[in-house]
């Protein structure tokens, strides 16, 4: 990044540390605004990435009272049903 911008590496490191501190302060403010919840819900969604031959699963953790998204993960799945053979041949 320093070569791209034409500045010293120390300047980049200082800016990263400065912006990281601001991001940490904002994160801590948000966690104070929303106290820890006691009831959670996990929601699962099955969809596809590029074509129906590439299914994915999206799992989310939600807080029930505020419906706040606490986190999510995306995972690849193997195709099933009539398109499973086609998917394996095309995308291994």
Helix (H) or strand (E) holding 86: helix 84-91
Residue 92, pLDDT > 80, answer no
Q: Is 67 left (phi over 0), alpha (psi -120 to 50) or beta?
A: left
Reported as a single tens digit per residue, the pLDDT across 1-48 is 899 999 999 999 999 999 999 999 988 887 777 777 788 899 898 888
CA dihedral 86, 87, 90, 92 (to 10 degrees): -130
The pLDDT assigned to 30 comes to: 78
pTM equals: 0.52
């Amino acid at each position: 990044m320093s070569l791209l911008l034409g500045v010293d590496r120390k300047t980049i490191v200082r800016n990263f540390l400065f912006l990281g501190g601001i991001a940490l302060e904002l994160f801590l403010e948000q966690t104070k605004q929303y106290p820890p919840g006691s009831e959670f819900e996990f929601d699962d969604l099955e969809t596809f990435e590029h074509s129906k031959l590439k299914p994915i699963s999206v799992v989310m953790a939600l807080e029930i009272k505020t419906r706040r998204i606490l986190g999510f993960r995306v995972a690849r799945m193997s195709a099933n049903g009539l398109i499973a053979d086609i998917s394996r041949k095309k995308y291994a």
